[in-house]
Homo-oligomer: A and B are copies of this chain.
Amino acid sequence: MISVGILNVSGYIGAETARLLRRHPFVKVTSVTGRSAAGKPLAETYPHLAALELGVSDELGDVDVVISALPHAASATALLPLIDKGVPVVDHSADFRLKSASEFEAWYKTAHPRPQLLQESIYGLTELHRDEIPGSKLVAAPGCFPTGAVLALAPAWREGLIGADIIVDSKTGASGAGRTADVRYAFSELDANVVPYGLGGHRHLPEFNQELSRLCESPAPRITFVPHLVPMTRGILTTCYAPLAPGRESTTAEQAQELYREAYAGEPFVRVGAAPPETKHTLGSNLCLIYVTVDARTARLVVVSALDNLVKGGAGQGIQDMNLMLGLPETAGLDDVALYP
């Protein structure tokens, strides 16, 4: 068995990584770290993980591969020595996602500790970077919002089906904020509530732009992105709106659906459906469900994607990346269907 270490298992992404890897046929979690929980059994923080019989450590032991669920800045700091030693790394923080150090600094208000790594790291949206991942030692797992939005937009954008004026409106469960004691995420505040945020610019926006521009350099996408907290724990539903490109205005819903089905044919974790998806159909699974249609009244493409932010938008995607890095079957450990209802 290949040994895996998880940095910051006490956060939700770290814990979900541990849960998913429990049934992975080729790897085994052997070392996990976590700030406040260090020195205690993992079961004390997460009773549902008691069967893993793991203790939380201060320092990572020797492992074959590392998955970091640390927050940005802290993650790079912890990972640099491991990267220097040549240990393969999947990073869930934003530290290695953006290719531009200045963009990183502008959005994260801190200088990057090793900007040259930004060119080496691979953006781990597997469906778009599958060929680059196997040879890489450093994969940056995408943010939860970019996963759903870029998968929703990529086929149309790549083909020039849509123009650059793109609206991305996301509805997310509270677990995206992590395991936090912030009063804004208290039950009494979020229950029975919809809370828009990030209207001044959300940190995931540069990922949208980077990935779409990579698929089609010109024109530059002009994306407005607004996320909204809704009263649920897991799940992101993203609704994308874009004008059909000049000359493509008569595209029908059926044609758009055919384009999407072809684009994702054979993808194990993207399913293009005949009806709009619901987030609950992805609960606990690594699937991203996509529905595309055309608003013929306005010649506009509307694409909806749904995923579990802690699986395809988080831990699951990181494992998908790890599988490819290690030469394992891409779907290993990721075949759960959703829990419903």
Contact = CB atoms under 8 A, between A and B. Distances in A.
A18 to B, nearest CB: 9
Contacts of A171: 171, 194, 228, 230
A276 B339 CA distance: 25
Interface string A165-197: 101010101110101111101111111111111
Nearest to A179: B183
A113 interface: no
A256 to B, nearest CB: 12
Interface residues of A, number: 84
Nearest to A198: B276
A26 to B, nearest CB: 17
Interface in A27-54: 46-52
A306 B278 CA distance: 23
Contact of A175 (B188, B194, B195, B284): B188
B19 A337 contact: yes
A176 B330 CA distance: 37
Contact of A190 (B19, B187, B195, B335): B187
A231 interface: yes
Contacts of A185: 186-188
Contact of A231 (B186, B223, B232, B291): B232
A219 interface: no
Interface stretch (A59-67, A96-104, A236-244): A236-244
Contacts of A284: 284, 339
Contact of A222 (B48, B194, B232, B297): B297
A181 B183 contact: yes
A48 B338 contact: yes
